[in-house]
Structure 1
Amino acid sequence: MSGKIALSTWPTPLEPMPRLARALGLGEGDLWAKRDDLTGLGGGGNKVRKLEWTVGGALAEGADTLVTTGAAQSNHARLTAAAGARLGLDVVLVFPGTPESATGGSGNLVLDGLFGARIFWAGDGEPSTLAQAAEDVCEQLRREGGRPYLIPFGGSSSLGARGYVDGGNELLVQLPEVRHVVVAVGSGGTMAGLIGALGEERVLGVHCGAVSEPASAVAGFAGGLTGRSVTPGALRVRTDQVGAGYGVLNEPVLEAMRTAATLEGIVLDPVYSGRAMAGLIQAVRDGDVRRGERTVFLHSGGLPGLFGHAQTVHRCVTALHGFKAV
C-alpha cells in the first residue's frame, strides 16, 4: 500500500499579479499566481507534488532504484533525480536520442548530473520505444539484484495525480472564490489532480504538445483518481499554443514570457509555463476568462529547462540593447 512522503514545505505562495491583470483588461484583484515553481526540492516545480505519492509507492515496495522517462530537458526527470538523492535511492533516467543531441548538456541535464542520476540514451524512435527501453532497464537492474520502481512519463498516473488533489485543496483554502485555474498540460496528471479537487468547470488546461491526445490522457487519470467516468469532451483544454510542436518556440509564447517577466518579474519556461501563460492571455481575449472572475495561473516551474532551450536563449540574448550615454 503506497503512502505519501514529504518532499517539500506546503503551502506554496499565492501571489497577486495586478500589473499583468490590468494589462489584460482584468480587474486588479482578478489574477493570481500559484507559485509551485517555489517548491523546495531540486530547483522546484509541479512534479514535486506527484513525486510525494509515486516515490512513496516506490518506498512502500522496497525499491532501491527509481527509473523514469522524459525528454532530455525533462523537469520531472530532474526532480526524480533530486528525490532519489534526498532519500538515498539510485536513479536511472531514460531519454530519447543520444548524448550528442542533448543541447550541449545544459539546463536540466546539468542538475541531473549533480544529483548523481545515470542516463540511458534510448536513441531515436516512437514514444513506445522509450517506454520499452525503460522496461528493459528495469529488467536489467533486476537481473543485477536491484529493486527498480518505474515511475511513468511525467510522473503522471492516478497515483501521482493525488499530488494535485492536495494542491487544489490547498488553493481552495487560499482563494475560496477561485473561478479559473490555468495550467499547462504535459503528460496530464497535474490537470487531472486539479479536476479531482475543483471539478471540470474550473480547470483550464493548455496543451503543450507532449502527448497526442491531451484531453483523453487527463480524463483517464482523473477517472482513475475520482472513481467516476470523466468525458474528454467535457474538459476545458486549449490546443492553440502548440505551434510547430513540443519544444519548438513560437512567437505568442515568447511574447507571453516577456509580458510576465516585464510586468511581474516572473520567469516562465518556453515549453510548459510559457505556453500556459499564452493560453491564459488568449482565453481573456476570447472571453473565456472575464473581468471579475478570480483566476489563478499555476506556475509549474521549469526554469532550468529554459537554459537548455537554445532557441529561447538565442532570442532573449539577441533582443538585449546596450545603454548608450547621451
Structure 2
Amino acid sequence: MSWPLLVQFPHLANLAPVALCDLPTPVEPLPAQSPLCWVKRDDISAHPYGGNKLRKLEWVLGEIRQRPIKRVVTLGATGTNAGLATALLCEQEQLACDIFTFPQPDSSVVRQNRQRMQQAGAQLHDRPCLLRAALGWYLHPGRLRRDHYFLYAGCSNPVASLGYANAMLELKQQINDSLCPAPADIVVAAGSGATVAGLLVGNQLSGLNARIHAVQVAQDHLGPFSVCNARLIIRMAQQCWQQLGLPWEQFDTGFLQWHDDYLGTGYGHPTAASTHALDTASRSGLTLESTYSGKAFAAFLDIEKTAAQPCLFWNTFNSHPR
C-alpha cells in the first residue's frame, strides 16, 4: 500500500494522490558507520528523478488534477531541486511551468538542474535576490486566474506535508516487518518545511515518538517573513494535523529538535563540516550535496557519536544520474 495514511484516514481519499514514487523506499544500515546508524533512501524514491520532492508532489498533483490548471508557478534557488522536480512533472502532465529563481553558489548540480529544467520546457525567471524572486512569485498576474497553480518553494504546501506524514507510517511498517530497528533519533534537512512538518505529524500518528532533528539549511527570515525556522515548521505541522481532522491540543511539539548551527554563511554555501560529511557518506555508498543533505548528514555524524540507540538519517537528495 503506497499510502498507509489513507487507511488510517479514509476521508483523505478525496485528495486523490497520484502514484509517482517507488514505495516503500529502502531503509538500510550505513556500513561505514556505527551499527546503530541507518538511512532511509528517499534519494531513490522515483525514476528518473528521486528525492523528497516526489513524495510531496504525489499529493500536490492530486489537487492539480481536480482543478482546471494549465500553468504551475513556483519559486526556488538558481539550481532548485524542487523546481526541477516540478518542471519534470509539468512536462509529464503537459502543463506550462514558471520558476522564479534567486542566486545560489554555482556548482555542477546547479548547472545540471538548470539545463534539465529548460529542457523540460520550464520558463526560468532569474531575479537578483530572494526578495525579488519572492515578489515575482507573490505578485504574479496569474493569481487572478483559476488555471494557475502556485506552489511554494520546496514543493511545500499543506497538502504536500501529507506525503511525509505518510512516509513515517511507511517507516513504521518497515520496523514492524523487522527491516530496521525503531530509531530514537531521525535527522533530516529543513528547508521550506513541509518534509519536517509531515515527519512530525507521522511520528506521532505512528507512535514512534522519535526525536526529529531538523537541520536548518536556509535563512531564518526574509524581512518580516518566516523562511526556515522552528516556528514555521510547527505552524505547518498544525495545518497538516488539522487536515486529518484531529484536535491540535493532542499534538506534542516536543519531538522537534531544531539545529541552526550547520547553515554556515548561508543557503547553498558549503561548510567544512558538510564537505567532510559528503566524503564520509560516500564511503557508505551515499551521494549527497552541500546545500541540503550534506549539512543534515554533518549533524547526523555529530548526533550518532553519542547515540546509545538507533539513529536514522533521512536522505532527501536525488541520487539518480542527472
| TM-score of the alignment, normalized to the shorter chain, above 0.5 | yes
The separation in 1 between residues aligned to 2:252 and 2:133, in whole angstroms, is 28
Kept after mapping to 2: 8 A contact 1:186/1:211:
no
2:306 aligned with 1:281, yes or no?
A: no
Give the counterpart letter for 2:272 in structure 1. E
Q: Judging changes above 3 Å, is the alpha-carbon distance between structure 1 residues 154 and 233 closer, same or farther for their aligned structure 2 residues?
A: same
Kept after mapping to 2: 8 A contact 1:187/1:210:
no
Give the counterpart letter for 2:230 in structure 1. A
Q: Which runs of 4+ in 1 moved over 4 A?
A: 101-105, 229-234, 302-305
The separation in 1 between residues aligned to 2:234 and 2:302, in whole angstroms, is 23
TM-score under structure 1 normalisation?
0.80
The separation in 1 between residues aligned to 2:273 and 2:103, in whole angstroms, is 28
Which of 196, 199, 209 is matched with 1:194 structurally? 199
The separation in 1 between residues aligned to 2:61 and 2:257, in whole angstroms, is 30
SS of 1:192's equivalent in the other structure is: helix
The separation in 1 between residues aligned to 2:254 and 2:141, in whole angstroms, is 36
Which of 74, 78, 83 is matched with 1:68 structurally? 74
Which of 280, 288, 302 is matched with 1:268 structurally? 288
Kept after mapping to 2: 8 A contact 1:180/1:202:
yes
Kept after mapping to 2: 8 A contact 1:34/1:297:
yes
CA RMSD of aligned residues (A): 2.6
Q: Which residue of 1 aligns with 2:215?
A: 206
2:87 aligned with 1:84, yes or no?
A: no
Q: Judging changes above 3 Å, is the alpha-carbon distance between structure 1 residues 125 and 245 closer, same or farther for their aligned structure 2 residues?
A: closer
Where structure 2 has 5 or more consecutive residues not aligned to the other structure, the ranges are 1-13, 177-181, 222-227, 243-247
Q: Which residue of 1 aligns with 2:142?
A: 139
The separation in 1 between residues aligned to 2:210 and 2:269, in whole angstroms, is 30
Per-residue displacement from partner, 1:285-326 (whole Å, max 9, x unpaired)?
A: 4x3xx13x1221111014589x9xxxxxxxxxxxxxxxxxxx
Q: Judging changes above 3 Å, is the alpha-carbon distance between structure 1 residues 125 and 185 closer, same or farther for their aligned structure 2 residues?
A: closer
Q: Which residue of 1 aligns with 2:111?
A: 106
Kept after mapping to 2: 8 A contact 1:219/1:231:
no
Q: Which residue of 2 aligns with 1:319?
A: none
Where structure 1 has 5 or more consecutive residues not aligned to the other structure, the ranges are 22-27, 308-326
The separation in 1 between residues aligned to 2:154 and 2:87, in whole angstroms, is 13
The separation in 1 between residues aligned to 2:191 and 2:275, in whole angstroms, is 18
The separation in 2 between residues aligned to 1:172 and 1:233, in whole angstroms, is 20
Q: Judging changes above 3 Å, is the alpha-carbon distance between structure 1 residues 36 and 148 closer, same or farther for their aligned structure 2 residues?
A: same
Q: Which residue of 2 aligns with 1:8?
A: 21
Give the counterpart letter for 1:283 in structure 2. I
Equivalenced residues, count: 287
Per-residue displacement from partner, 1:167-207 (whole Å, max 9, x unpaired)?
A: 11111111242322111001111011011111364311111
SS of 1:85's equivalent in the other structure is: helix
Per-residue displacement from partner, 1:20-39 (whole Å, max 9, x unpaired)?
A: 22xxxxxx2x2111111102
2:62 aligned with 1:46, yes or no?
A: no
SS of 1:264's equivalent in the other structure is: coil
Q: Which residue of 1 aligns with 2:185?
A: 180
Q: Which residue of 1 aligns with 2:230?
A: 215
Q: Which residue of 2 aligns with 1:321?
A: none
2:253 aligned with 1:240, yes or no?
A: no
Give the counterpart letter for 1:35 in structure 2. R
Q: Which residue of 1 aligns with 2:4?
A: none
- How far off its partner does 1:241 sit? 0.5
- How far off its partner does 1:55 sit? 2.1
Deviates more, 1:223-232 or 1:208-217: 223-232
Q: Judging changes above 3 Å, is the alpha-carbon distance between structure 1 residues 267 and 113 closer, same or farther for their aligned structure 2 residues?
A: same
Kept after mapping to 1: 8 A contact 2:216/2:262:
yes
Q: Which residue of 2 aligns with 1:159?
A: 159
Deviates more, 1:152-161 or 1:1-10: 1-10
Q: Judging changes above 3 Å, is the alpha-carbon distance between structure 1 residues 233 and 152 closer, same or farther for their aligned structure 2 residues?
A: same
The separation in 2 between residues aligned to 1:210 and 1:80, in whole angstroms, is 23
SS of 1:280's equivalent in the other structure is: helix
Percent of counterpart pairs with the same letter? 27
Larger radius of gyration: 1
Q: Which residue of 2 aligns with 1:294?
A: 310
